[in-house]
Structure 1
Amino acid sequence: MAFRLRLVPEQTSWDFFRHQTLTFGFSVMLVIASIIAVAVMGLNYGIDFRGGTTIRAQTNESVDIASWRDSIAPLGLGDVVITEVFDPTFAADHHVAEVRIQAQDGTEAVSSDTINAVEAALQTVVPSVKFTSTESVGPKVSGELIETALLSVLAATLAILAYIWLRFEWQFSVGAVAALIHDVTVTVGIFALFQIKFDLTIIAALLTILGYSINDTVVVFDRLRENLIKYKTMPLKDVMNISVNETLSRTVMTSGTTLIALIALLVLGGDVIRGFVFAMTWGVVIGTYSSVFVAKNIVLFLGVDRDKKKVDPADKFFDKSAKPGKSKPWNEGA
């Protein structure tokens, strides 16, 4: 007999809505606390949103980011980001790095004296280093980046709202979008609470979280719609429990394998991508939670007009021979 790893039993009958008021109330509290954290503490914007200067440095020695950062730290320049530039056309002794320094108080760009001080500090650990170019991002450009980032998240959310509305019913779309708003708001609140640097990579993470969360929500919604046709007289809450239980194995396997990779990156990936990976890791956890305890709760509160339920063309492939209470598990045979 072939061995198959199962993280959850083949058939489960857990009541995910037994404490629906408590779980939904907890989610509402998280959203409110996140909004307060952002309003009171603010976000720790990175150079992308705050403005600053990017210096391109070239050296004949390999780039040791930790030693470079340690040499610049005594200058007290605030947020300094150092990244190595890789290019297959570079010679073996050609090493390039970018040093990004946040805009100093009252100035749009870092002064020439500060740039000279940075170069002198780096030359104490890398004597061959030299600066080949310097570019500055002013507050106006940074403000435009913030506006564009907000619009991108809003556009993605509206597109998802339209898709769910067309694919299912309006109650489903309201539940799905509420879950997405919950995920994004709580994630941003965590960044405000712990003052983790918030830059364009975090916006990319938020957009990825939107896609991941809605994917899990749609899987359960699709199974729920099939079961609403199959169990026409069963209470909506019971049908939802069946649907979540039937897709539970898929949810746990998908989230679990994703978290394994993300946790490895979080521990071993280094400082450059740590904020992005942290946002993704938290997003997977909160997205899985919201798919059941936010999206499904809202659909349950709003109700579904089951009298007007029409059979989807795809349902001709669905096994209608199963009897209530003996439905074939969604993951069976996978």
Structure 2
Amino acid sequence: MKSFKIMEKTKVWFAISLSIIIIGFIFFIKNGLNYGIDFRGGTLVQINMKQDFNKQDVEKIIAKYANDYTTNTAVNEKNEVQLEIRSNSLEEGEVQPLFKEVKDKYKLVDKDLISQQTIGPAVGQELKQKSILAFILANVAMLIYVAIRFEFKFGAAAILAIVHDILITVSVYAIFEIPINSSFIAAILTIAGYSINDTIVVFDRIRENSKKIRRVGSKEIANISITQTMSRSINTTLTTLITIISVYIFVPSVREFAFPIAIGIACGAYSSVFIASPIWVLLKNRKIREA
């Protein structure tokens, strides 16, 4: 079976990823991340729209009172459509005028303003600290698991691939100034789990081939292993992406979670082949040179 020459173009794969990360870093330095209401504090408004409505028309009304906002819709147990508005710039005194315009347009009543809440930025600071701690603990646990199941070089390569996926995802958010809320944190931890799973499939085949094929170098073993697992990786990634994209399109209430997941899944599939495996080859060859 003819193998793909993935390892021979390692510099190209690294350059592609590094370019995206550098661009994201530049945007991060220039504008920072667009932290949403969960991190910066702001106003959360829930309106019972009762029936389907034109979201663009409602957002034109919202834009009069807030220059940064996100909207989600959900259906309650009575099969009524509810609108959720999150904004960092919407003042408490502007909620009633905003609701009055929506109420008049869609013939609502006062009780259809389900709730309005002011969320302080202290919640965001706590979320940041706990999410960073959770990410570090998750990576340490995965490093120990992979190091025990395979060897430390595999674990180091897998963790670096996860960090790559997270940096790419954050870079996309920085470049396009996409709001970051608490659901983004859950998505990041999910991405880490998916990425390690995809990487382990390739590493497991590399370990098997290392025992079977002893006359070739680590670079060729990696190429052979990637070729053997490529169809599985593509099929798994496409199947998962189709599901996530469908959720994003048809379930607006979870879009803030589905969007970073879609980016992370694509990055995870890429990194397991083009980042994790080349890093393992580099670490393996470095040990051979030092021996």
Give me the whole-angstrom Cα distance separating, in 2, the residues matched to 1:12 and 1:204. 40
- 1:228 Cα shift? 1.0
User: What is the CA deviation profile of residues 48-78 of structure 1, one whole-angstrom value per residue up to 9, with x for unaligned ones?
Assistant: 222122234346x425261433333322353
Structure 2 unaligned regions, length at least 5: none
Residue 140 of structure 2 aligns with which residue? 158
Residue 276 of structure 2 aligns with which residue? 295
1:46 aligns with 2:36: yes
Q: In the TM superposition, what are the counterparts of 1:130-145 in structure 2 within 5 Å? A: 130=110, 131-145=113-127
Give me the whole-angstrom Cα distance separating, in 2, the residues matched to 1:204 and 1:97. 23
Give me the whole-angstrom Cα distance separating, in 1, the residues matched to 2:36 and 2:54. 18
Q: Identify if the C-alpha distance between structure 1 residues 144 and 14 changes in structure 2 by more than 3 Å, giving closer, same or farther.
A: same
Residue 318 of structure 1 aligns with which residue? none
Q: Identify if the C-alpha distance between structure 1 residues 269 and 32 changes in structure 2 by more than 3 Å, giving closer, same or farther.
A: same
- 1:194 Cα shift? 0.8
Q: Identify if the C-alpha distance between structure 1 residues 28 and 75 changes in structure 2 by more than 3 Å, giving closer, same or farther.
A: closer
Residue 122 of structure 1 aligns with which residue? 102
- The structure carrying a bigger helix percent of its residues is 2
Given the alignment, which residue of 269, 275, 278 partners 2:250? Answer: 269
* TM-score of the superposed pair, with normalisation by structure 2: 0.86
Matched residue type, 1:73 = A
Residue 283 of structure 1 aligns with which residue? 264
In our comparison, the structure showing a higher alpha carbon Rg is 1
User: What is the CA deviation profile of residues 133-185 of structure 1, one whole-angstrom value per residue up to 9, with x for unaligned ones?
Assistant: 33221111122122222222222222211211111111111100000000100
Residue 99 of structure 1 aligns with which residue? 84
User: What is the CA deviation profile of residues 216-246 of structure 1, one whole-angstrom value per residue up to 9, with x for unaligned ones?
Assistant: 1001111111111112232111111111111
SS in 2 for 1:287: helix
User: 1:77 touches 1:101 (CA, 8 Å); kept in 2?
Assistant: no
SS in 2 for 1:291: helix
- 1:192 Cα shift? 0.5
Matched residue type, 1:207 = L
* TM-score of the superposed pair, with normalisation by structure 1: 0.76
Q: In the TM superposition, what are the counterparts of 1:52-201 in structure 2 within 5 Å? A: 52-58=42-48, 61-64=50-53, 66=55, 67-76=57-66, 78-87=68-77, 90=78, 95=80, 97=82, 99-104=84-89, 110-111=91-92, 113-130=93-110, 131-201=113-183
User: 2:73 touches 2:252 (CA, 8 Å); kept in 1?
Assistant: no
User: 2:154 touches 2:203 (CA, 8 Å); kept in 1?
Assistant: yes
Residue 322 of structure 1 aligns with which residue? none
Give me the whole-angstrom Cα distance separating, in 1, the residues matched to 2:2 and 2:261. 28
Aligned residues: CA RMSD: 2.5
SS in 2 for 1:15: coil
Matched residue type, 1:279 = P
Structure 1, 70-79 or 178-187: larger mean CA deviation: 70-79
1:213 aligns with 2:202: no
User: 1:72 touches 1:121 (CA, 8 Å); kept in 2?
Assistant: no
Q: Identify if the C-alpha distance between structure 1 residues 102 and 125 changes in structure 2 by more than 3 Å, giving closer, same or farther.
A: same
User: 2:36 touches 2:88 (CA, 8 Å); kept in 1?
Assistant: no
Structure 1 unaligned regions, length at least 5: 1-10, 307-334
User: What is the CA deviation profile of residues 237-283 of structure 1, one whole-angstrom value per residue up to 9, with x for unaligned ones?
Assistant: 111111111111211111122223334444x3365444433322222
Structure 1, 64-73 or 237-246: larger mean CA deviation: 64-73
Give me the whole-angstrom Cα distance separating, in 2, the residues matched to 1:73 and 1:25. 40
Structure 1, 284-293 or 257-266: larger mean CA deviation: 257-266
Q: Identify if the C-alpha distance between structure 1 residues 147 and 63 changes in structure 2 by more than 3 Å, giving closer, same or farther.
A: farther
- 1:298 Cα shift? 1.2
Q: Identify if the C-alpha distance between structure 1 residues 14 and 214 changes in structure 2 by more than 3 Å, giving closer, same or farther.
A: same
Residue 237 of structure 2 aligns with which residue? 255
SS in 2 for 1:55: strand
SS in 2 for 1:18: helix
